[in-house]
Structure 1
Amino acid sequence: MRKNSIKNTRINGEVQKELSVIISMEVKDPRINPMTSVVAVEVTPDLKYAKAYISVLGDEESKKSTYEGLTKASSFIRSQLAKRLNLRNTPELSFVMDQSIEYGVSMSKKIDDVNKASNKSEEDASDVAEGDEAENGEEN
């Protein structure tokens, strides 16, 4: 099976969906932040290993404790995954903290700041232009 085959893509999607449900509903570890989401899952073609990209909304301490909680609960999560999905092999899970959502939010904030500054400078320029027109109109 090729890495990017349709079958592998479907398996990645199903594992991601079930993993997000298991993490949010089944795992009772208090270290895991409730705002934890599974961004993507990459399952190897032989179905032995899976890399789950996890995003956590919160500070660094929250991310670290969530990672530790997920690592400790990986065997439980794997057993739940085996019960829910009918795969030849249930993949061994490894978790990777993904910063893409956080990066996207920060970039969006920066773009908004630039747009606000641009709009303000345009308004200031139009105010100056209107003032010049008013002065020119009074002289005639």
Structure 2
Amino acid sequence: MSLRITRVNELLKREIGTVIQRDYEWHGALVTVSSVEATQDLKEARVWISIMAGNPVTILEKLNQQHGAIQTKVAKRVVLKSTPVLDFRHDASAERGVDMVNLLEEVDQLPKAPEAPEEEEPGI
């Protein structure tokens, strides 16, 4: 991936995240932009959304229905020849991370085998 596309992805990520947090109500859910993957020609962009404590299906439906309005708001803040068409997708990596931490905490609570006594070395 080129350096330009990487910079555009980060810029879009920041601006889309700002629009989503400022202009939309999520009723107790935490909705964040994890990453943006724009195509080389900047015609389309996949926006990966992390959702905690909310229904991902309804939130993604709302975002995809409002993608035109979000694009318009982003286009006013980001100067590009053409603003990519946004396609919102669910990023479940944060949820998997939380599940992994919870699992590790459960394993830590399991009974442990007693430690074997250390043997002394003869002749020292």
TM-score under structure 1 length normalisation: 0.76
Contact 1:55–1:99 at 8 Å: present in 2 too?
yes
Residue 106 of structure 1 pairs with residue 99 of structure 2: yes
Q: 2:30 is aligned with what amino acid? A: M
The equivalent residue for 1:121 is: 112
The equivalent residue for 2:32 is: 37
Instruction: State the structure with more CA Rg.
Output: 1
Deviation at 1:88, TM superposition (A): 1.1
Q: 1:41 is aligned with what amino acid? A: V
The equivalent residue for 1:13 is: 10
Measured on the aligned residues, the alpha-carbon RMSD in Å equals: 1.9
Q: Which runs of 4+ in 1 moved over 2 A?
A: 30-34
Q: Count residues in correspondence.
A: 117
The equivalent residue for 1:94 is: 87
Deviation at 1:69, TM superposition (A): 1.0
The equivalent residue for 1:24 is: 21
Contact 2:29–2:53 at 8 Å: present in 1 too?
no
Distance 1:104 1:86, change over 3 A: same
Contact 1:32–1:67 at 8 Å: present in 2 too?
no
The equivalent residue for 1:70 is: 63
Contact 2:64–2:88 at 8 Å: present in 1 too?
yes
Deviation at 1:26, TM superposition (A): 1.9
Contact 2:47–2:86 at 8 Å: present in 1 too?
yes
The equivalent residue for 1:138 is: none
Distance 1:34 1:110, change over 3 A: closer
Deviation at 1:71, TM superposition (A): 1.1
> Quick check: 32-41 or 48-57, which moved more?
32-41
